[in-house]
Amino acid sequence: MRNLLMTVCYDGTNYYGFQTQPGGNTVQDCIEEAIKGLTGETIKIHGSGRTDAGVHARQQPFHFITSSSIPLERWRMALNGRLPADIRIVDASEVSLEFHSRRSAKRKTYRYTINGNRVPDVFWRNYQVHHPGRLDTDAMRQGLGYLVGTHDFTSFASRHSTKASHVRTIYEATLEVDTSPVYSGSNEQGIIHIMLTGNGFLQHMVRIIVGTLLEVGEGKRKPEDMKAILEAVDRKAAGPTAESKGLMLWSVEYDAIEMEGTNLSN
């Protein structure tokens, strides 16, 4: 038996998220079907985490156990030939049988993108949330600062969250604005990227944080309100859940020791 670790990138526009759902049409369903078509095995893959419907992934690891003897270097091309064009395996490696893509993950980074220009970008419309109203990005950046550290994020979690603990650690929280001419003309806000890196995230956590930050940017809340929202430990204290299409799982990191012996494909 072999434990294969792969990294997938996907445009989540047409899917109900990564993880298998009763209604079907998920990224996991497509990958498992491709594996079955390649090896004949009915396999359950294990992702590094879930993504909501419409959310994208630049790098999402998953692993699975297989008895197939197909050489490692053939997996990527063989699976991509069986996957839809909006899902692509970008890397494949073999890891120890003890490795688990979710439990072994140490750091995850999400990026949320807001188009602050007056006209939405036709070509990036599925990956950006359009917000033409003026935003105070300095205030939003200050608000983000209150989230760094270890906190109970109940206020920023879905009411449907089933996690036993809502305590998570945010290592980095940044906001950058791209005002390059390719994105914006005179008097345009540009493209706003919010990056959050932590040891784990709760259901809808990033989207609720962004929805609340947008209220800060609009002047409806003060940056320091983020601290009070955290301390309330109450979902009703935070803002709305931002649209899913602006969210992308950016990267997942593991300890080098846990990855020892991994044979990365070229």
DSSP H stretches of helix in 19-178: 27-39, 72-80, 137-145
* Backbone Cα Rg of the chain: 20
CB of 104 within 8 A of CB of 258?
yes
Residue 137: half-sphere exposure toward Cβ, Cα within 13 Å: 19
The residue from 52, 91, 121, 152 that is catalytic is 52
Euclidean distance between CA atoms 117 and 136, whole angstroms:
14
Structure tokens at 138: 């300095």
- Residue for token pair 């690891």: 61
Euclidean distance between CA atoms 164 and 6, whole angstroms:
29
Catalytic, 52? Answer yes
- Residue for token pair 């792969």: 6
Structure tokens at 134: 């003026």
Q: Are strands 129-130 and 105-115 parallel, antiparallel or unpaired?
A: parallel
Residue 110 assigned to a binding site: yes
CB of 48 within 8 A of CB of 60?
yes
List residues forming the annotated binding site.
110
Catalytic residue annotation: 52
List residues forming the annotated binding site for substrate.
110
